[in-house]
């Protein structure tokens, strides 16, 4: 049924519970046959949705067996009533699955500030648990969608174990507002401190290279579950096996992150902004982010205009000390700027052909060090406005 | 001829020199009959256009008699050749006006990275100086336009003197990229240290409350000239007269800044984001800026959707410590959020009527202090994409 590597010991399901008036799938369940170790990365927004307030301490405690996710209502800015709903849904699920309540994680995505009804959960959850199956991965991926145009699933097969990731999110101009949910499951047996550091590293180079660190929505959440069902030795931090595990995890998360950019609301292009020759990785990252988030740069991509002037201006206002006379800029292999000056109309015309591609790399060489970093972005077109102006109507 | 208060001792003119292929006005000259004291605020972009490199030390020296501005070509990222062009244009003008070269300020706005031709200046400037006249203010305002939809002029009449401001700029999503030029002339006699501090204060509460401090284009510049032609005592810092002068200056610059927002590329609404009850003015400003620059908030304005969820989320990710349970939000007088919770669908429907207005205020009360700050923003609609995707074609 599935083209993905499904880790052992997990089951999945989803349903249309009625939260979405459209009747689309809106309630998803991920279940591990045994309690899994869990690590999580949570929104840094000061306004935190109710389900995250409930889930965060449970994840910190280290174990999780079931993840319940709804779309259509974020249960954010809903006060004590919203928190009560989150608690009730968790309690209903724990009862139906006969597991401890603190092994349940809940997450929500959708409109902010609307009270969440309990009925869809009360009526839906008993049915939901009956349909759990190992091959229902894509149903979960579909049930967590909001403005997403397609489901996002990625996987990798390690030595005796698998890593499977599901995500929800559509890139935006100000990516900090795109609620991003990510759920990663592995059957590897992983030492808890490794689980946490591996997730943080993978998130930094994937989801946090499309969204802005610290600037996240009220509901952002990435969970990594490791149930150990694959058996074998526990993977310890610092080992070679650990580095392999991290690389598989990195790859799955980067694949998902690129899907999110590709699904940018109204986006038609996936563009890597690769900064090289920076004095430090932090500086490379700051410059890449400045360019990747510039609306003028992104509209130029949409217009298929090799407008390097907007790129160099975004480099200049990134706040990093740069020498404009040392900057080289390439669209794929085409050098359009050398030492801060145009290489001429012929190369710019060639670069325009690169802009017509669905996917390309803008390389910015600062020539002031060795550090490198990439951000991933999309073009900005009419569809973004259309989707976001009408989102609630 | 003019409805503005024109300070004594200034003359103005503009022409179509051929820099713009469209044949529109593209070269402007402001001239003071006597050397004026000058203060300036310059871009903080690390990539600085050639004309600014020439002008900045001259302004720092304290005097200016002529300001030459072209549109259509930013003369930025043009290297030594661009700097040479800026020097030559300045020399030609000084010769034609028979003034010292270091009394000339030059500024440019337009496309980045294209070498500036000398011919339009060499041929145009001798004609330009012959057409100087006191009533040609709006010609200057027109000749400095790029994507501007209308000219921007504002003035105020003080006690025995006038303040006249001209600006160019169209607000953007990432306002840091909107090249903003502002030229303010007064015939008041102002002590140099007051001139500088008055300009910095006025810019902070106007142009820098629509654009992002430190995040500016390669060409941004605001000059304030005071030629003392009105006569009278020199206005000294700390005096009551000085405070009056500052208030007139504040008002002229805020009027111009609002025009820039109103002329936001594709904008149809002028929205003040007013944050009250913050712990400090700096925090109020940070929150106001976070909301004002959110693309999701701005597209909701375009959709006339009282989507306070996006507003409260932007408050939350501003980085300031806020208590979500204390936040009140109003659209004009309509309270849609009290203590972080919706006040219900009836008030939200009333708020939707406010969103239909051309101009309204979003008030965000944090209830954690006394400090207040405002940012001015616009809606974000299809026109923005249209203008910016096609800018160079």
Kindly state whether A78 is in contact with chain B, defined as any CB-CB distance less than 8 angstroms: yes
Kindly state whether B295 is in contact with chain A, defined as any CB-CB distance less than 8 angstroms: yes
Task: Name the CATH topology of A10-262.
Answer: 3.60.70
Instruction: Name the closest residue on chain A to residue B287, using Cα atoms.
Output: A46
pLDDT value, residue B213 = 41
pLDDT tens column, A151-165: 999 999 999 999 999
Mean pLDDT for A331-335 is 96
ipTM over 0.90? The verdict is no
Q: Which of B79, B215, B342 sits opposite A340 (nearest CB)?
A: B79
Mean pLDDT for B216-231 is 91
pLDDT value, residue B388 = 64
pLDDT band at A179 (very low <50, low <70, confident <90, very high): confident
Which range has the top average pLDDT, A292-296, A365-369, B376-380?
A365-369
pLDDT band at B1 (very low <50, low <70, confident <90, very high): very low
- As a whole number of angstroms, the distance between CA A170 and CA B296 comes to 13
The rounded percent of chain A whose pLDDT value lies above 70 is: 93
A1 pLDDT higher than 80: no
Strand pairing category for B181-186 and A341-342: unpaired
pLDDT band at B214 (very low <50, low <70, confident <90, very high): very low
pLDDT band at B50 (very low <50, low <70, confident <90, very high): very high
A354 pLDDT higher than 70: yes
Mean pLDDT for A166-177 is 65
pLDDT value, residue B175 = 42
Kindly state whether A3 is in contact with chain B, defined as any CB-CB distance less than 8 angstroms: no
Where are the strands (E) in chain B, listed by range? Answer: 10-15, 27-42, 63-73, 104-111, 152-157, 162-168, 181-186, 221-226, 270-278, 328-331, 334-338, 341-342, 359-365, 371-378
- Annotated catalytic residue, options A109, A179, A218, A377: A179
Restricting to A residues 299-328, those with a Cβ less than 8 Å away from any Cβ of B are: 299-300, 302-303, 305, 307-310, 312-322, 324-325
Instruction: Name the closest residue on chain A to residue B76, using Cα atoms.
Output: A309
B340 pLDDT higher than 70: yes
pLDDT tens column, A371-393: 999 999 988 877 666 666 665 54
Kindly state whether A44 is in contact with chain B, defined as any CB-CB distance less than 8 angstroms: yes
Q: Which residue has the higher pLDDT, A385 or A143?
A: A143
Q: Which of B47, B308, B381 sits opposite A313 (nearest CB)?
A: B47
Residues of B with Cβ-Cβ distance to A341 under 8 angstroms: 77-79, 113
Distances from the Cα of B50 to the Cαs of A180, B82, B86, B143, B218, in angstroms?
43, 6, 7, 20, 9
> What angle (nearest 5°) sits at the alpha carbon of residue A210, between those of residues A41 and B175?
120
pLDDT value, residue A209 = 87
Residues of A with Cβ-Cβ distance to B172 under 8 angstroms: 295-296
pLDDT value, residue B174 = 45
Mean pLDDT for B21-31 is 96
Contact status, residue A164 vs residue B297, Cβ threshold 8 Å: no
B389 pLDDT higher than 80: no
- The answer to whether A147 is a known catalytic residue is no
Q: Which of B319, B324, B342 sits opposite A47 (nearest CB)?
A: B324
Residues of A with Cβ-Cβ distance to B286 under 8 angstroms: none
Residues of A with Cβ-Cβ distance to B215 under 8 angstroms: 317, 319
Task: Name the CATH topology of B270-389.
Answer: Ubiquitin-like (UB roll) (3.10.20)
Distances from the Cα of A173 to the Cαs of A13, A265, B213, B299, in angstroms?
32, 9, 20, 11
Strand pairing category for B359-365 and B270-278: parallel
B271 pLDDT higher than 50: yes
User: Cα-Cα-Cα-Cα dihedral of B145, B151, B152, B155, to 10°?
Assistant: 130
With tokens 């005796």, the residue in question is A160
With tokens 């052992």, the residue in question is A8
Q: Which residue has the higher pLDDT, B58 or A306?
A: B58
With tokens 């270091």, the residue in question is B102
pLDDT value, residue B172 = 56
- As a whole number of angstroms, the distance between CA B203 and CA B215 comes to 14
Q: In b/e form, how buried is each residue of B380-389, taking b as 16+ CB within 10 angstroms?
A: bbbbbbbbbb
CA B376, distance to chain mean position in Å, is 12
Q: Which of A47, A310, A384 sits opposite B177 (nearest CB)?
A: A310
Cross-chain residue pair B388–A300, CB shorter than 8 Å: yes
Restricting to B residues 13-32, those with a Cβ less than 8 Å away from any Cβ of A are: none
CB pairs under 8 A between A and B: 209
Cross-chain residue pair B303–A337, CB shorter than 8 Å: no
Contact status, residue A374 vs residue A273, Cβ threshold 8 Å: yes
Where are the strands (E) in A43-161, listed by range? Answer: 63-73, 104-111, 152-157
B294 pLDDT higher than 50: yes
Per the structure block, which two tokens stand in for B343? 């006040």
Contact status, residue A184 vs residue A24, Cβ threshold 8 Å: no
Nearest to B128 by CA among B150, B148, B155, B104: B104
Mean pLDDT for A328-356 is 95
Residues of B with Cβ-Cβ distance to A216 under 8 angstroms: 317
Measured between CA atoms, how close is B317 to chain A, in angstroms? Answer: 5
Cross-chain residue pair B295–A388, CB shorter than 8 Å: yes
pLDDT value, residue B45 = 83
Cross-chain residue pair B310–A77, CB shorter than 8 Å: no
Domain residue limits, chain A: 10-262, 270-389
Lowest mean pLDDT of A43-57, B54-68, B169-183, B361-375, name the range.
B169-183
Q: Which of B177, B218, B317 sits opposite A294 (nearest CB)?
A: B177
Strand pairing category for A328-331 and A334-338: antiparallel
At residue A79, φ and ψ (nearest 5 deg) are 65, -155
Cross-chain residue pair A77–B385, CB shorter than 8 Å: no
Lowest mean pLDDT of A315-324, B17-26, B88-97, name the range.
A315-324
pLDDT band at A24 (very low <50, low <70, confident <90, very high): very high
Residues of A with Cβ-Cβ distance to B317 under 8 angstroms: 44-47, 176-177, 214-217
Q: Which of A294, A341, A380 sits opposite B77 (nearest CB)?
A: A341
pLDDT tens column, A236-248: 999 999 999 999 9
At residue A264, φ and ψ (nearest 5 deg) are -45, 140
Q: In b/e form, how buried is each residue of A345-369, taking b as 16+ CB within 10 angstroms?
A: eebbebbbebbeeeebbbbbbbebe
pLDDT value, residue A203 = 92
- Nearest-Å Rg of the Cα atoms of chain A is 22
In sequence order, the β-bridge partners of residue B278 are B371
Restricting to A residues 165-194, those with a Cβ less than 8 Å away from any Cβ of B are: 172-174, 176-177
Instruction: Name the closest residue on chain B to residue A393, using Cα atoms.
Output: B305
Residues of B with Cβ-Cβ distance to A382 under 8 angstroms: 382, 385-386
Judged by DSSP in three states, A245 sits in helix
- As a whole number of angstroms, the distance between CA B308 and CA B334 comes to 12
Measured between CA atoms, how close is A246 to chain B, in angstroms? Answer: 29
Distances from the Cα of A93 to the Cαs of A67, A127, A139, in angstroms?
9, 11, 18
pLDDT value, residue A175 = 42
B329 pLDDT higher than 60: yes
- As a whole number of angstroms, the distance between CA B4 and CA B256 comes to 13
- As a whole number of angstroms, the distance between CA B178 and CA B391 comes to 13
The per-residue DSSP string of A76-95 comes to: -S-HHHHHHHHHHHHHHHHH
Q: Which residue has the higher pLDDT, B33 or A208?
A: B33
With tokens 């299809």, the residue in question is B382
Lowest mean pLDDT of A144-153, B198-207, B215-224, B226-235, name the range.
B215-224
Cross-chain residue pair A77–B337, CB shorter than 8 Å: yes
Mean pLDDT for A270-281 is 96
> What angle (nearest 5°) sits at the alpha carbon of residue A114, between those of residues B344 and A18?
125
pLDDT tens column, A257-269: 999 888 876 678 9
Restricting to A residues 247-276, those with a Cβ less than 8 Å away from any Cβ of B are: none
- Nearest-Å Rg of the Cα atoms of chain B is 22
Measured between CA atoms, how close is B78 to chain A, in angstroms? Answer: 6
Q: Which of B111, B174, B343, B368 to mutate to test the interface with A (most CBs of A within 10 A)?
A: B174
Q: Which of A111, A215, A385 sits opposite B382 (nearest CB)?
A: A385
- Annotated catalytic residue, options B89, B146, B147, B179: B179
- As a whole number of angstroms, the distance between CA A257 and CA A209 comes to 8
Q: Which of B113, B293, B327 to mutate to test the interface with A (most CBs of A within 10 A)?
A: B113
The per-residue DSSP string of B113-153 comes to: SSPPPSHHHHHHHHHHHHT-BTT-HHHHHHHT-SS-SS-EE
Q: Which of B79, B382, B392 sits opposite A307 (nearest CB)?
A: B392
Q: For the whole model, what pTM was predicted?
A: 0.79
B298 pLDDT higher than 50: yes
Cross-chain residue pair B340–A79, CB shorter than 8 Å: yes
Distances from the Cα of A184 to the Cαs of A55, A181, A354, in angstroms?
16, 10, 34
Mean pLDDT for B289-318 is 88
- As a whole number of angstroms, the distance between CA A307 and CA A290 comes to 15
Judged by DSSP in three states, A47 sits in coil
Contact status, residue B60 vs residue B97, Cβ threshold 8 Å: no
Cross-chain residue pair A381–B382, CB shorter than 8 Å: no
- As a whole number of angstroms, the distance between CA A54 and CA A84 comes to 10
Count CA atoms within 13 Å of residue A172 on its CB side: 26
Mean pLDDT for B60-72 is 97
Lowest mean pLDDT of B280-284, B313-317, B330-334, name the range.
B313-317
């Amino acid at each position: 049924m599935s083209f993905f590597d499904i880790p052992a010991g997990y089951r999945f399901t989803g349903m249309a519970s009625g939260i979405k008036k459209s009747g689309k799938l809106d309630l998803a369940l991920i279940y591990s046959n045994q309690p899994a170790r869990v690590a999580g990365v949570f929104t840094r927004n000061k306004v935190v949705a109710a389900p995250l307030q409930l889930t965060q301490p449970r994840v910190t405690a280290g174990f999780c067996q079931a993840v319940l996710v709804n779309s259509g209502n974020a249960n954010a800015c809903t006060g004590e009533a919203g928190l009560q709903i989150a608690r009730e849904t968790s309690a209903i699920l724990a009862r139906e699955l006969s597991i401890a309540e603190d092994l349940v994680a809940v997450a929500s995505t959708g409109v902010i500030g609307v009270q969440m009804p309990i009925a869809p959960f009360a009526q839906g959850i008993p049915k939901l648990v009956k349909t759990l199956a190992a091959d229902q991965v894509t149903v979960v991926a579909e049930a967590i969608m909001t403005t997403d145009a397609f489901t996002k699933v990625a996987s990798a097969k390690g030595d005796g174990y698998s890593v499977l990731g599901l995500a929800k999110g559509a890139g935006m101009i100000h990516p900090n507002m795109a609620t991003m949910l990510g759920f990663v499951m592995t059957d590897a047996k992983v030492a808890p401190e490794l689980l946490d550091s591996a997730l943080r590293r993978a998130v930094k180079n994937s989801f946090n290279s499309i969204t802005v660190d610290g600037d996240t929505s009220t509901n952002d959440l990435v969970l990594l579950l490791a149930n150990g069902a694959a058996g074998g030795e526990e993977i310890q931090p610092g080992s070679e096996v650990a580095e392999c595990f991290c690389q598989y995890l990195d790859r799955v998360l980067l694949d998902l992150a690129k899907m999110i950019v590709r699904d940018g609301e109204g986006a038609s292009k996936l563009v890597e902004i690769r900064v090289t020759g920076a004095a430090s990785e932090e500086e490379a990252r700051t410059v890449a982010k400045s360019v990747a988030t510039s609306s003028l740069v992104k509209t130029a991509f949409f217009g298929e205009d090799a407008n390097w002037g907007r790129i160099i201006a975004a480099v200049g206002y990134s706040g990093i000390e740069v020498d404009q006379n040392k900057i080289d800029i390439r669209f794929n292999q085409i050098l359009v700027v050398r030492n801060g000056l145009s290489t001429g109309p012929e190369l710019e015309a060639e670069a325009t052909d690169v802009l017509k591609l669905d996917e390309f790399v803008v390389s910015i060489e600062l020539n002031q060090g060795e550090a490198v970093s990439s951000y991933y972005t999309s073009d900005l077109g009419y569809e973004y406005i259309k989707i976001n102006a009408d989102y609630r109507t």
